Amino acid sequence: MTFKRRNGGRNKHGRGHVRFIRCSNCGKCCPKDKAIKRFLVRNIVEQAAVRDVQEACVYDGYTLPKLYAKMQYCVSCAIHSHVVRVRSREARRIREPPQRFRRRDDTARPGQGPRPAGAPAVRP
Amino acid sequence: MDSAGGGAHGGGGGGGDGSSPAAWAAVLGEGVSLVLSRWTALQMAVENGWGGRDSRRKADDLAASILSWFAQSKDPHYIDELENMIDECMVISFNAEIEDGSVEEVAEQLMIMHEDCLKGNYESIEKLRNSGPRINAVSQSRRVIDDNEDESSDEEESEMAVDEAPSTAMAEDHHPKPAKAVPDEEGWSVVAPRRSRGNRSG
């Protein structure tokens, strides 16, 4: 039977077991390394309501605070809420952000060699 | 920051554009690094390791790719492309979805800086350089989650207390109740519970 992904779904190397976490959306148990983790940076007040809140604010020039949250999704919720998308077989293998014309950086980086387009660097 | 500056300088010196002197690329690289160092979302990602152990390297990569986008691709540079690039990089490298509009602000500042550098106007970068490190917004962030958890557990306890009170009151009421109650003004009368009522388990 073929393997759909080289790492088998998510990131467990050299371990037999990882503990599970609960999905922040549905509460399903999902292994910690398999869960899709996203860090959300959001304004506490939505864009539409910013003006209303600022008008009602007692302080002048009060910068509205932001909300930093870590969301952990199970695979089902991540796909359902469009956090991740289904990819084609070739596109599944892409892990790094798209390379942008890196001709200049061939000699500039002491720690890495020149990267061919699309091939991910091996992580230490 | 140092390595980003070094990488940018190396990129600017080694490229040799031919159409424009490489000096502005080096200054632009420094400016890009300065702007990114003041971007709270990215600094928070690096300091808290949202991208794993090499988050700092990823931040430097972002600076370098922004610089190479400015230097390599032909005019016109569209701000939408820059925004998309930064957005993608944050999602792929740092697993972070930045929805507070800071990506647009950073992209705007970078575009303005790029235009200034093309004209040879390095004022904005000088201003950034001399303004010094701002108050670290990352350290000012407080964990609010703990407070909310405490509040919710308090509410649960108070609900429990409320539930217990009427049951104890009812237990006390059983004893003085065997006499027949007088009918109310509307004709309602309380039916006295028989002695076996409390002992029967339904």
Predicted confidence (pLDDT) per residue in B71-115, tens digit: 876 778 889 989 999 999 999 999 999 998 899 999 999 999 888
What is the value of ipTM here, to two decimals? 0.71
Average of pLDDT values for B109-125? 85
Q: Is B22's pLDDT higher than 90?
A: no
Contact indicator for A21, A32 with CB cutoff of 8 Å: yes
Q: Which residues 51-90 of A are in CB contact (within 8 Å) with B?
A: 66, 68
The residue behind tokens 């387009």 is A117
Indicate yes or no: CB of A41 within 8 angstroms of CB of B100.
yes
3-state secondary structure of A51: helix
Q: Which of A69-78, B27-36, B131-140, B179-188 has the highest mean pLDDT?
A: A69-78
Length of chain A: 124
Backbone torsion region of residue B120, taken as left when φ is above 0, otherwise alpha when ψ lies between -120 and 50, otherwise beta: left
Q: Is B163's pLDDT higher than 60?
A: no
Q: Look at residue B21 in the predicted model and tell me its pLDDT.
A: 58
What does the domain layout of chain B look like in residue ranges? 21-135
Q: Look at residue A69 in the predicted model and tell me its pLDDT.
A: 93
Contact indicator for B106, A50 with CB cutoff of 8 Å: no
Q: Look at residue B29 in the predicted model and tell me its pLDDT.
A: 87
- Judging by DSSP bridges, how do beta strands A36-43 and A66-73 pair with one another? antiparallel
pLDDT confidence bin for A100, thresholds 50/70/90: low
State chain A's mean pLDDT as an integer.
82
Q: Look at residue A99 in the predicted model and tell me its pLDDT.
A: 67
Percent of chain A whose pLDDT exceeds 90: 60
Q: How far is B23 from B13, CA to CA, in rounded Å?
A: 8
Q: Is B150's pLDDT higher than 50?
A: no
Report how many helices (DSSP H) and strands (DSSP E) chain A contains, helices first.
2, 4
Q: Which residue has the higher pLDDT, B123 or A51?
A: A51
> Which fold, A18-91?
first zn-finger domain of poly(adp-ribose) polymerase-1 (3.30.1740)
Using CA atoms, how far residue A84 sits from B27, B54, B102, in Å, is 37, 23, 22
* Partner-chain residue, chosen from A37, A97, A100, that has the shortest CB–CB distance to B68: A100
pLDDT confidence bin for A111, thresholds 50/70/90: very low
Q: Which helix (H) or strand (E) holds B20?
A: none
Q: Which residue has the higher pLDDT, A51 or A114?
A: A51
Q: Which helix (H) or strand (E) holds B75?
A: none
- Rounded to two decimals, the pTM is 0.64
Q: Is B164's pLDDT higher than 50?
A: no
What does the domain layout of chain A look like in residue ranges? 18-91
3-state secondary structure of A85: coil
Longest dimension (CA), chain B: 108
DSSP E strand stretches across chain B? 96-98
Q: Chain B closest CA to A118's CA: distance in Å? A: 14
Indicate yes or no: CB of B68 within 8 angstroms of CB of A43.
no
Residues of B in contact with A104 (CB under 8 A): 11, 14-15, 68, 71-72
Interface test with A, best of B67, B97, B106, B134 (most A CBs within 10 A): B97
pLDDT confidence bin for A121, thresholds 50/70/90: very low
Backbone torsion region of residue B35, taken as left when φ is above 0, otherwise alpha when ψ lies between -120 and 50, otherwise beta: alpha
Using CA atoms, how far residue A97 sits from A32, B127, B170, in Å, is 23, 32, 67
Q: Work out whether the CA dihedral B14, B18, B23, B24 comes out positive or negative.
A: negative
- Judging by DSSP bridges, how do beta strands B96-98 and A36-43 pair with one another? parallel
Q: Which of A17-26, B73-82, B168-177 has the highest mean pLDDT?
A: A17-26
Cis peptide before B76 (omega within 30 of 0): yes
Contact indicator for B11, B30 with CB cutoff of 8 Å: no
Contact indicator for A28, A74 with CB cutoff of 8 Å: yes
Q: How far is B197 from B178, CA to CA, in rounded Å?
A: 12
